[in-house]
Amino acid sequence: MARTCLAVVLAAGDATRMKSSKSKVLHTVGNLPLIAHVTRAAASAGVGKVALVVGRDAGSVTAAAGIGIEVPVTPVEQTERKGTGHAVLMARDVIAEGYDDIVVLYGDAPLISPESLAAATAKRAGGADVVVLGFRAKDPTGYGRLIERDGELVAIREHKEASDEELAIDFCNGGVITFSGSEAVSLLEAIGNANAKGEYYLTDIVEIARARGLRCVAIEAPEEDMMGCNTRAELAEIEAVWQARARHAAMLSGVSMIDPGSVFLSFDTELGNDVVIEPNVWFGPGVRVGACAVIHAFSHIEGAEIGAGAMIGPFARLRPGTELGEKAKVGNFCETKKARIGAGAKVNHLSYIGDAIIGAGANIGAGTITCNYDGVNKHVTEIGAGAFIGSNSSLVAPVRIGDGAFVGSGSVITTDVPDDALALARARQETKPGRAERLREKLAAIKALKKNPSSGQQG
């Protein structure tokens, strides 16, 4: 029979050191709010419900916590800040619903992995009443130390209260605690506040549990899993770790990155086998790239679906709603938005394609613009299969260019062009022999006059 587990996620902090107009846990890593990273890890580890302790921006935090998970999220408000033990006890009614395991997580620690959480609950299932996740710190200064004896955890000692012998310990408290659901409320209620700050510390639960004859243990997790965020500098450090993990996973799955450190991924980026990514590429949310596609350097992509074998960039921007068919091309200094570009179609140079449907095999010449906005509404441009649009053309939507049609370079197209038709919409060229020399003489005289205005005055 499967064990039941409740995650109590603490997300009520004021984020004073972030100096932000929004809750700390709404800041993002990999374009996903910190709180969502935590709840997604919990859900992946088998948690059946989340009790979310909220304060500032409660509605937004609750909505963010539910991103991408199917387990229910129940918000509980903490109106006073009296320490971590007090915060967890705010979820008393949810805890009392009855769970085998309670795991306490922190909404500002987004790197916690499902594997670490699963290891903690497995240890609980093996007979431990309280399980604390710890880590071996390169520099343990400031961290609470995990004091062990005979394979059991006997106490969590805060740095400022530790003896010299205890300060030599590098096994530190990561903050994540799993304990028995049947004992949870009783243990939490027993936490006192007889300390310098007058706060209720969750860490006291270890000594309380041991006094009752319960077994407490600590297990080791990677230090990175425990990283918390209090400042924007720490947020950047967490982003760097998350990106390194995401890149590594992508490369192991069959993606080639020439300079991995310059590629930035989002939490939902999907990359097919044999995709090649050149340096300095940014993926925003909602990007899916098919197998064997090539993303050239300095491209910026978000909300786009890129077909197998397609080629992007360099210096291309694909905005939300872009859909590229197989082996389509969007080249250097091009921008697309809400554009469906068919298989084998080419948008190679210096073009803007927005609110458009482009047929298979069409060729869009350099400097082409779909004029999609009239100042109030957006309109669609349709370009048929195999059509050829000459360079420097402006297509004023709503307009349709038929299959196999040709548009001459420099044209401004304002009406539909039938299939296989040729459209020219530009002034007729005039050539005047000998005029170039006379024009140069005139321009030189004007320039000389500007340099010496007095030369043009009569004596």
Q: Which of 76, 79, 69, 21 minimizes the C-alpha distance to 47?
A: 69
Which residue stretches of the chain have pLDDT < 70? 1, 455-459
Same fold, 5-226 and 232-423: no
d(CA 441, CA 2): 93
CA torsion sign, 256 to 257 to 263 to 264?
Answer: positive
Which residues contact residue 154 at a Cβ distance below 8 angstroms, ignoring those fewer than 6 apart? 147, 148, 206, 207, 210, 216
What pLDDT shows up at residue 459?
A: 45
315 three-class SS: coil
What pLDDT shows up at residue 455?
A: 66
What pLDDT shows up at residue 456?
A: 60
d(CA 234, CA 327): 41
Rounded to two decimals, what is the model's pTM? 0.91
Residue position matching structure tokens 């509980």: 76
CATH code: domain 5-226 is 3.90.550.10
219 three-class SS: strand
Assess contact for 153 and 131: CB atoms under 8 A: no
Domain boundaries, the chain: 5-226, 232-423
What pLDDT shows up at residue 452?
A: 84
What pLDDT shows up at residue 458?
A: 52
Distances from the Cα of 137 to the Cα of 67, 204, 334, 357, angstroms:
32, 21, 48, 55
Of residues 27, 159, 349, 379, which has the active-site annotation?
349
Assess contact for 27 and 18: CB atoms under 8 A: yes
Which residues contact residue 321 at a Cβ distance below 8 angstroms, ignoring those fewer than 6 apart? 303, 304, 337, 338, 339
What pLDDT shows up at residue 427?
A: 86
**DSSP per residue, 356-422:** EEE-TT-EE-TT-EEE-B-SS-B--EEE-TT-EE-TT-EEESSEEE-TT-EE-TT-EE-S-B-TT-E
What pLDDT shows up at residue 194?
A: 84
Domain 232-423 has CATH 2.160.10.10: yes
What pLDDT shows up at residue 1?
A: 55
Residue 86 is among the residues annotated as catalytic for this protein = no
Q: H or E segment at 11? A: strand 5-11
- Summarised one tens digit per residue, pLDDT across range 248-272 is 999 999 999 999 999 999 999 999 9
